[in-house]
Structure 1
């Protein structure tokens, strides 16, 4: 064999051995697939735990159910722990970055307008579902659980909740057994952070060190946050497993018709209203839902918009193409006040349920009041107990019996899962739509996410390093909102 033949043979062998290995598609190995796998495993463990419950005394819970409950609670607690530092650092940094965006105030106004638009159509859906399905008519519900809740919503309560009571918006409460729990008011924290950011911008060069420290701290917070989010498949599996083991189907009982009405309304918002908004703004419906899946699924199992907020913000930036400077403002605001599930669908159907149960007729003015409270009043529950307070605000405005709230408490966890999933999906939707209409939408980020999926490793590298930061300049003389926007936003 000649030297040339030997060289050719070695080259061919080298080529064959160096042939690239086949990789599984991104949709099968990405973060969304891991979450789905966690949900499936969690469902299986939940049914096993529920089967174990029949073999133990009523006063005890099977060890598997306790394990799932504890694991899920730890995961949600870890997420919530990161919310205060994320809000403070992200909002202050975003206010500073918004200096580079012309008509930043117009962006904020557009965000609120789209909050109102989606809330309006969501409450219309809730009213129509309640009128057509009549969940409170002809039921065999036991009236004995009827009781007024301990917490009720009010417009004055909203004003009180807005005014910060201390620097970090912290609150503490003591239980009957002497335990003290500390919580934070998200709306107050948001207002404090906005004030600090605006003050730093007004202070000029002397505040530059403060802004630099805040931006560096934000990078550290995001790094820790993504260590926690890596545990999402485990957390979601534990949470859904606990829900199956704890609630099962027993809690539905005679309220099954009401639960069905709620989920029909939520499905219409997710599958009709939101897709219509996306198509109206030239965004791919399937592309959006493929990207938002980690947010929707995590919201469903955690039942906490605030617990999911760090994930919502990161997905909105890394998958939706929303600049960080705007996303870090819109997402915390949305997690506080944008609740189509809790503040639109639920109070509308629940109010009709209470009226139908007690045999009270609602007139045209009453329906207008439901729309008004749902669209305007959702912020009145910010930082409090959420949907229950929102329902009491609606019932008191209509003059309906507050005792009707007690009838619905048994199935509260079951319907809260769907409500939260819609809430967090809508929060990401509005941020994406406003960015698209304002001309600051990063289409290259959107396209890359559609091709590669939601990659935690890539996101970690983006958070850890500023070396690959790129400056995105979007300039348009006039957007569809009538705003002139020139963005110079550093995105990671």
Structure 2
């Protein structure tokens, strides 16, 4: 049997799991060889190149995916019954799951953390990252039609420029164009047809890139292990343990309970969502994982017209890991570290910021913006941001995995409750009988 055919017989999730094991092994090997920042060894360079190229390919296709998916979805909302109710239900469930996640974070942080674990780091100074609500609000407004931003910085005697994609700006622009096309009606049909065709082409390109996921996993995870190592966690062990405990409770406890309450089989959910969750773990980017997340949603039977609307929205605003669990635990840790007492009003503020502010993370790698918002709202020292950056890459892997799971969970719950699950293939396999749904349909 040809090697290519043999590989295809191995389940995709199993290939990713095998790639993770291989990536860890190669990362440990690169770390053993020695990988200083100024002169990385050849193995680390190879791993970094492979992983970076894979993420670059994904991010290359993310802007056209978001634009074409949202425009075609909004333009075709008239084909969905109760479109306004559908959008409202999506946002409500975003808020419900975010509130539950932040409550878990507060509970875990209060019970597990006892302060003082990072006393050895007290002498270290880091520059706090300045971010706030105005930065977030200004970031929504597109600066140009392509949502591109150019930045310059000093680099060794010269000036290095870089171009970044404003994902939240693309989302806002796509919503506006899609809504306008929907209101124009028949006159916009040629444009909508062109965008729909482009959407189909982008999805085919994404399929080719996604086939490279195991290779990208080896590079991404191997690079993370080689650069940071598992021993980095020992500096902030209790905090890291609390964060991963909170993430595990939400991912493996709360989410299954919500699925069961809505008549959905958790095993079927995780079987379809696991490739996206795994990719989120190694890539540390909800936006980079978006193509796989959307495919997982459709595999679960969510109507494509709704998935194309809800999943990109979730990838930019639904961050249970980065914007709910993590800032809650981090705020408690920073308060204890700097001996600042927290009262009941402070815990309510943590919940409030987490529920309404998750869009500030905008699907990018890291949760520094959300953490800064939380600390500044509570009046806690912003130096605490720098204190936690030492192990942020390792924590970010788990946070993003939970983010991605939540971005599939909410559209699935809403689709189940609104009758938008396809009846031919996936839906019967994932759903309990309708009468077993525990939550009333009139939420």
Is the shorter-chain TM-score for this pair beyond 0.5, marking a shared fold? yes
Pair 1:330 & 2:310 matched: yes
Q: CA deviation at 1:79?
A: 0.2
Distance 2:420 2:231 in 1: 49
Which one is further off, 273-282 or 164-173? 164-173
- Contact 1:168/1:189 (<8 A) preserved: yes
Distance 2:261 2:56 in 1: 38
Distance 1:433 1:57 in 2: 47
Pair 1:104 & 2:83 matched: yes
RMSD of aligned Cα (Å): 2.1
Distance 1:58 1:105 in 2: 52
Deviations 1:65-112 (A, max 9, x none): 110011101100100000110111111111122211111111111011
Match of 1:303 among 248, 263, 284: 284
Q: CA deviation at 1:57?
A: 7.0
1:72 corresponds to: 51
Distance 1:65 1:135 in 2: 37
Q: CA deviation at 1:385?
A: 6.7
Residues 256/364 of structure 1: CA separation in 2 closer, same or farther (3 Å cut)? same
2:261 corresponds to: 280
Residues 368/298 of structure 1: CA separation in 2 closer, same or farther (3 Å cut)? same
Q: Residues 299-448 of structure 1: matches in 2 within 5 Å?
A: 299-317=280-298, 319-382=299-362, 386-446=366-426
Secondary structure, aligned partner of 1:172: strand
Q: If the length of structure 2 is used for normalisation, what is the TM-score? A: 0.92
Distance 2:161 2:291 in 1: 26
Pair 1:218 & 2:163 matched: no
Pair 1:175 & 2:142 matched: no
Residues 91/138 of structure 1: CA separation in 2 closer, same or farther (3 Å cut)? closer
- The number of residues matched between the two structures is 428
2:133 corresponds to: 155
Which residues of structure 1 form unaligned runs of 5+? 1-22, 451-478, 484-492
Distance 1:349 1:212 in 2: 47
Deviations 1:354-401 (A, max 9, x none): 000011110000000000001111123327775111111001110110
Deviations 1:113-135 (A, max 9, x none): 11011100100110111111115
- Contact 2:117/2:236 (<8 A) preserved: no
- Contact 2:322/2:361 (<8 A) preserved: no
Q: Residues 108-257 of structure 1: matches in 2 within 5 Å?
A: 108-134=87-113, 136-152=115-131, 154-177=132-155, 178-257=159-238
Pair 1:34 & 2:12 matched: no
Residues 448/441 of structure 1: CA separation in 2 closer, same or farther (3 Å cut)? closer
Which residues of structure 2 form unaligned runs of 5+? 431-438
Q: If the length of structure 1 is used for normalisation, what is the TM-score? A: 0.83
Residues 386/44 of structure 1: CA separation in 2 closer, same or farther (3 Å cut)? closer
2:434 corresponds to: none
Distance 1:385 1:57 in 2: 23
Distance 2:61 2:114 in 1: 39
Secondary structure, aligned partner of 2:230: coil
- Contact 1:136/1:258 (<8 A) preserved: no
Distance 1:247 1:359 in 2: 29
1:13 corresponds to: none
- Contact 2:366/2:396 (<8 A) preserved: no
2:33 corresponds to: 52
Residues 138/237 of structure 1: CA separation in 2 closer, same or farther (3 Å cut)? closer
- Contact 1:338/1:378 (<8 A) preserved: yes
Secondary structure, aligned partner of 1:250: helix
- Contact 1:266/1:341 (<8 A) preserved: yes
Residues 46/385 of structure 1: CA separation in 2 closer, same or farther (3 Å cut)? closer
Distance 1:406 1:169 in 2: 29
- Contact 2:117/2:238 (<8 A) preserved: no
Distance 1:147 1:62 in 2: 28
Deviations 1:402-425 (A, max 9, x none): 011111111010000000000001
Q: CA deviation at 1:448?
A: 8.5
Deviations 1:136-176 (A, max 9, x none): 33543321334342332x22222211222221221111121
Distance 2:285 2:55 in 1: 8
Distance 1:42 1:350 in 2: 29
